Amino acid sequence: MEPLMALAIGLLYATAIFMMLRRSIVKLVIGLLLLSNAANLLIFTTAGMTRGAPPLIPEGMSQPLGQVADPLPQAVVLTAIVIAFGVLAFAVVLIRRAYEIVKADDLDKMKDTDT
Amino acid sequence: MRPEVALPVLLPLLSGALSLMFWRSRPMQRFLAVAGNVALLGVSLWLFVEVLGDGYITMQMGSWPAPFGITLIADMLSAVMILLTGIIGLAMGIYSLAATGRGHEKFGYYPLMHLLLAGVAGAFLTGDIFNLYVWFEVMLVASFALLILGGERAQMEGAIKYVTLNLLASVIFLTAIGLLYGTVGTLNMADIALRMDQVEHAGMVEVLAVMFMVAFGIKAAAFPLFFWLPASYHTPPVAVSALFAGLLTKVGVYSLFRVFTLIFDQTMDYLQEIMLWGAVFTMVTGVLGAATQYEFRRILSFHIVSQIGYMILGLAIYTPLAIAGGVFAIMHNIVVKTNLFLISGITHRLQGTYQLKKMGGLYRQRPWLAVAFFVSAFSLAGVPPLSGFFAKFVLIRAGLEAEAYVATGFALAVGLMTLYSMVKIWNEVFWKALPEDNLVPAAQTPVGDDGRLLKPSLWLMYLPVVVLAFISLLIGVFAEPIMQVMNIIGDQLFAPDGYIEAVLGAPGDTEATVVEPLELDAEAVREPGEELP
């Protein structure tokens, strides 16, 4: 499972960076979206993928039997997803407003503040 | 239970929530902006005094023992940064009353300001690396919204660059956290520091260190990652600019100091060289960028970048004295840089423009404003006996002791160049006569919603400026006791054992510190205080 995930994550990062390097602001936001998804999957994978072993303690015992999945990265990913969701919602509104004002979907037309 | 550690985070959150509840009541929001920040300053003073007495103050959130729960910890560095947050927060609260337009107030300026301060304070106090990411995001989201408040074209363009690069930095940071957790199996910074020595895969540690350096480097606006800053910081309302200039990049610098003294101290052998040259180029490009500009706030923005170089130089030289000097530079810069932005806001109110060419004659019109600018600007350039001189003096002495002669030489030269920029502003804004084509006073008499002229209540803008200039003077006069505090910080950061012990308890105190990384899956859910199998 891990090699497959690694490939998927690498592909996501590559796609995200490619999209971010393009001039269109819509593609820029798509790139950001993919990038945060890639990071979330990475956290999920690096912490180790344990299959079918929920971190539950059987009744009457004080610690789980054998190897169980680590619940912490899942909590972390959940938090990260929520944050990414909020931030991306903002980014989408921002590009819409920017498009209304600048009237172009092109980063090269947004150089007024650079010089 | 030490509530003073959590209060600097909780109070601005509370003020922000209350402020949101009084969404329609402008007087109430304005009252909260001052009252909430007075309370924040009070609490931060309390925390500072307590830390000065005790060294470290920790608080385990929800009473979960250290490596499992989230720890809040205040060491001397955090306490000083929180104190500065309190000072700047109050200054901004008062200044905003006069500087912020009704339109901005209506769309949630004050709640966002409180949330931004909560994020900054949280980042300074947390002892958990993922929690640090969360506070960064709290701070960022508030700053995004503040940055586009008003919705002018320049703000949109600046915001796109600001948002993109900061999100990129956040994702790099998050990726690094994921890899770090996969490597050491914990998120508590003190616990990570302990386990970092046992990591067998040295290459992984190096990759992680560089990822953290890049992520925080973008947030701190270090060379070559600073381009978002001068493209965006001059676009929002001036009170927002000042708040950003004072606090936001410094959170990035703080994180660099924290992470590279606590977690990645063993990688400093070779990262030192990269950071040293990064710092030198940051100083030089920042100050050269400023030299070509003729817009008040853009000059100041480039100087933020330049000054970040001094702070990172302190970390890069990596001796207790250099770190003390770096923190001194952060402290002095927060006060002085905020003040310069506040002054640019007043001159804009008086003359209706930020273009230096169109300004002039303010030395005659407002001599006291000129004095306040003089103090802040020359302090920034490092003229004795003002605060900037001592920051630079300590850094340069540390540089000479560490035999980093080239970097030290650049630091001195950049000081001169800073003086050149500041003299340029002084000449154009205060000294020369007002050019005749300045169609001034449009901005001098803001008109209210009902069409009546509003009183340009300038004293509310002057008050924080005078107080901050005074603080800058005080830092210069009382350099000796402040330097003692800085030395405590240098020692604490350089020998992180105290920090680790404060978070995890003395070695052998709890079993939590002897958990083997490999058995983590089973251990993470073990009942605290129970026997190890």
Q: What is the pLDDT of residues B139-162, one digit of tens each?
A: 999 999 999 888 888 888 899 999
Using the beta-carbon criterion (under 8 Å), do B154 and A113 form an inter-chain contact? yes
Q: Following DSSP, what letter does each residue of B226-240 receive, concatenated?
A: -THHHHHTTSS-HHH
CA A94/CA B166 separation, integer angstroms = 14
Q: CA of B175 to nearest chain A CA: how many angstroms apart?
A: 5
Q: Which residues of chain A have pLDDT under 70?
A: 115
- Mean pLDDT over B353-363 rounds to 86
Determine which of B295-309, B321-335, B512-526 has the lowest per-residue pLDDT on average: B512-526
- Establish if B521 belongs to a structural domain: no
Q: Dihedral (C-alpha) B142, B373, B321, B213: value to the nearest 10 degrees?
A: 30
pLDDT band at B521 (very low <50, low <70, confident <90, very high): very low
pLDDT of B252 higher than 50: yes
Tens-place pLDDT, residues B198-251: 888 888 899 999 999 999 999 999 988 898 999 899 999 899 999 999 899 999
A57–chain B Cβ distance below 8 A for any pair: yes
| pLDDT of amino acid B320 | 92
| pLDDT of amino acid B516 | 42
- Establish if B137 belongs to a structural domain: yes
| Domains in chain A, CATH or no CATH each | 2-49+70-107 (1.10.287.3510)
| pLDDT of amino acid A51 | 81
- Establish if B109 belongs to a structural domain: yes
CA B329/CA B335 separation, integer angstroms = 10
The domain total for chain B is 1
pLDDT band at B531 (very low <50, low <70, confident <90, very high): very low
- Mean pLDDT over B441-459 rounds to 53
| pLDDT of amino acid B511 | 45
| pLDDT of amino acid B527 | 43
Higher pLDDT, B445 or B24: B24
Neighboring chain A residues of B521 at a CB cutoff of 8 Å: 48, 50, 67-70
Using the beta-carbon criterion (under 8 Å), do A76 and B130 form an inter-chain contact? yes
A47–chain B Cβ distance below 8 A for any pair: yes
Q: Which domain holds residue B152?
A: 3-435+442-509
A6–chain B Cβ distance below 8 A for any pair: no
Residue from A108, A63, A96, A71 nearest B533 by CA: A63
Q: Which residues pair with A110 in a beta bridge?
A: none
A36–chain B Cβ distance below 8 A for any pair: yes
Q: What is the DSSP letter of B508?
A: T
- Partner residue opposite B522 with nearest CB, options A35, A67, A91: A67
pLDDT of B448 higher than 50: no
* Predicted TM-score of the model (pTM): 0.90
Model-level ipTM above the cut of 0.90? yes
- Partner residue opposite B157 with nearest CB, options A40, A70, A102: A102
Tens-place pLDDT, residues B82-103: 999 999 999 999 999 988 888 8
pLDDT of B346 higher than 80: yes
- Partner residue opposite A47 with nearest CB, options B164, B181, B232: B181
pLDDT of B443 higher than 50: no
| pLDDT of amino acid B507 | 61
User: B171, B187, B214: best mutation site toward chain A, by most A Cβ within 10 Å?
Assistant: B171
Residue in chain A lying closest to B150 (CA) = A97
- Contact assessment for residue A77 and residue B134, using Cβ atoms and an 8 Å cutoff: no
B176–chain A Cβ distance below 8 A for any pair: no
- Establish if B533 belongs to a structural domain: no
- Establish if B518 belongs to a structural domain: no
- B residues 210-249 near A, CB within 8 Å? 231-232, 234-235
pLDDT band at B518 (very low <50, low <70, confident <90, very high): very low
CA B166/CA B185 separation, integer angstroms = 27
B290–chain A Cβ distance below 8 A for any pair: no
Using the beta-carbon criterion (under 8 Å), do B177 and A70 form an inter-chain contact? no
Mean per-residue pLDDT over chain B, rounded? 87
pLDDT band at B433 (very low <50, low <70, confident <90, very high): confident
- Mean pLDDT over B516-520 rounds to 41
CA B357/CA B345 separation, integer angstroms = 16
| pLDDT of amino acid B151 | 81
- Establish if B532 belongs to a structural domain: no
